[in-house]
Chains A and B, each alone.
Chain A
Amino acid sequence: MKASRGPASRSRTGRSDSLLGNGFMIIGLAYFLVPLIWLALASTKSNSGLFSSFGFWLDRDINLGQNLQDLLARDDGAFVGWMRNTAIYAISAAIGSTLISALAGYGFAVYRFRGRNLLFAIILASVFVPATILAVPLYFMLGQAGLTNSLLAVILPAMVFPFGVFLVRIYAEQAVPEELLDAARVDGAGEFRIFATIAFRLLAPGLVTVLLFAFVGAWNNYFLPLLVLRDTDVYPLTVGLFNWNALAAQPGQAQVLYAIVITGSVVAVVPIIVIFLVLQRYWQHGLSLGSVKG
């Protein structure tokens, strides 16, 4: 047994454990960050600089300003439009789906009613449904509703966020004490007033988590916009960048577009990384909620 070997050998195995452990984490950190560092460095290079300079160092001239100018000018400023579309789409989808999930999650947490368990089970089971099953019908439905080529075609389906309902329910069960609700009822407050004035504030930290997940999901969404949006001027960033990249891969086109696609990727990632870092404690919060019950 290790303990019988005495304190000296124990501290030695402790030190080698710590060396191995720290080594693992440092290599891991490099693996996760180096590609992003490479992308950031690449965005400062001209097309020829990409080929002539070493990937993990700067080129002689910093070409970032020119790249940004080219990015904004390309296809009559298409990128600015995509950025705006993504922002509109992500913000409205996040706020809408968070409010809807808040109402539903709270309803599940606070009330006992007929069909409660069955409904919740059906909502949870929907995570098994592949996105492609819904893709074809949604394409037709949105087409019939005249919504193809409108941002509503991506915003409306994003309002349904089962994971959000799940998170709010668990959070509400912990954060909203029943006695408080009863006290408010005795004082004559209606159920919706109780929700809006008392429960909503108690739920706020959990709702920020849901908002964050919904926002990142919508900002990064690619599949649905790819299907339902036809005109380039309603594209979000993901589909627009995909198209430029596909164009860059075609013979004869390549040179001009690499720097633009790379710079565009960096610009698309910066806002989401800033939001991620600023609100980082809410991530962990949401994930720990999920795992306690999950």
Chain B
Amino acid sequence: MDSSSPVALRTAADEPGSGDVTIVRSEAIGRTAPGSGSRRWQRARRASVPYLFLAPFLVGFAVFMIFPLIYAFDLSLYRTKIVGGKSFVGLENYAKVLGDSSFWEGVRNVLTFGLIQIPIMLGVALIAALLLDSVVIRGKTIFRLGFFLPFAVPSVVAALMWGYMYGQAFGPIAQISRAVGITPPEFLTSGTIIPALANISTWQFAGYNMLIMFAALQAIPHELYEAARVDGASGIQVATRVKIPLIGPAIVLTAIFSVIGTLQLFNEPSVLRAVSPTIIPPNFTPNLYVYNLAFTNRQFDYAAAVSFGLALVTAVLSSLVLFVVYRRQSLR
């Protein structure tokens, strides 16, 4: 340390003083506490304070998260037959899930859905976020609000609304097609249902993801890309070479949440299934399958095993996303 500096001298002179203060204070506490027993009691009370703050949440978490998980796992180890009742079967239900083509069909559907929907949605979100962060757009508040607004619409209403818009009877797309003399496109057929659902989810969540990316962009210090701009980099070059790499973690976050959300697809197909049950079978997505196994077929134990199968697929795919991202990063 440079002892000739007045600042350093002052700090050095202060230190013993502040030390004295703490010593005095701890002696004072020692004197007021009458015995060592109550002192230990006080220490225990102080140690319990953080747990008291957490207690309401942890009680709820235990009752509505941990306990149901254990309950579901226990359930999945049994099989109930009409004749003979409930019997322990170990992991037999899980073996059955592995060979259950109805389950894997649902998994294939949501994977197809995800492969179409996630890149499009995150691509739109990223371009919009970069534009909002750039100098070329005017009226940013309107765009930000307008893009994000669908997030506030309940997914049941979103699915109802798009279901009507897709419809042949009074759907505006069919109306316009007829007006210009072309055959109205069919959206709710087995070949088009996945893109039709992908569109509903993109409509609902692109703005939400845009805001997450936009918030990350706003957190980048300006100096980091001012330098590139002074060097003559165009806006697009700054965006692709500087900004996108810097908001990498935010993009990964949106990707992982999109994977989780995709695998759990339920509300939208459930609403459209009521309108076109032949196009959306009861096992169209894994969650729909679990719901129908449990609440239509009353196969609660097998439904529990299937839902754990889905959790496993979710965990594997999410870690795959992380693995791919971080391996690429470490190569760079």
A32 to B145, CA, bound (A): 10
A16-60, CB < 8 A from B: 17-18, 21-22, 24-25, 28-29, 31-33, 35-36, 38-39, 42, 50-51, 54-56
Q: Are B64 and A134 in contact, with the CB atoms below 8 A? A: yes
- Contact of B56 (CB < 8 Å), options: A24, A100, A131, A239: A100
- Can you sample 15 A-B contacts with CB below 8 Å? A3-B232, A21-B134, A51-B169, A51-B170, A56-B172, A119-B54, A132-B287, A132-B290, A132-B303, A135-B290, A137-B72, A160-B64, A222-B154, A269-B153, A291-B249
A50-78, CB < 8 A from B: 50-51, 54-56
Contacts of B208 in A (CB 8 A): 287
Q: Are A103 and B143 in contact, with the CB atoms below 8 A? A: no
CB of A232 within 8 A of chain B?
A: no
Q: Are A130 and B314 in contact, with the CB atoms below 8 A? A: yes
Contacts of A17 in B (CB 8 A): 136, 234-236
Contacts of B206 in A (CB 8 A): 32
Contacts of B193 in A (CB 8 A): none
CB of A198 within 8 A of chain B?
A: no
The distance from the CB of B139 to the nearest CB of chain A, in whole angstroms, is: 8
Q: Are A100 and B64 in contact, with the CB atoms below 8 A? A: no
Chain A-chain B contacts (Cβ-Cβ < 8 Å), number: 287
The distance from the CB of B304 to the nearest CB of chain A, in whole angstroms, is: 6
CB of B109 within 8 A of chain A?
A: no
Chain A 85-127: CB-based contact to B (< 8 A → 1; otherwise 0): 0000000000000011101101110110100100100010011
Residues of B within 8 A of A (CB): 47, 49-54, 56-58, 60-61, 64-65, 67-69, 71-72, 75, 124, 127-128, 131, 134, 136-138, 142-157, 160-165, 169-172, 175, 203, 206-208, 211-216, 218-219, 231-237, 247, 249-250, 253, 257, 260, 263-264, 266-267, 270-271, 274-276, 286-287, 290-291, 294-295, 300, 303-304, 307-308, 310-311, 314-315, 318
Instruction: Please judge, given known A-B contacts A123-B61, A140-B71, A223-B267, whether A245 and B275 are in contact too, CB under 8 Å.
Output: yes
CB of A290 within 8 A of chain B?
A: yes
Q: Are B162 and A107 in contact, with the CB atoms below 8 A? A: no
CB of A268 within 8 A of chain B?
A: yes
CB of A219 within 8 A of chain B?
A: yes
Contacts of A25 in B (CB 8 A): 128, 131, 137, 143
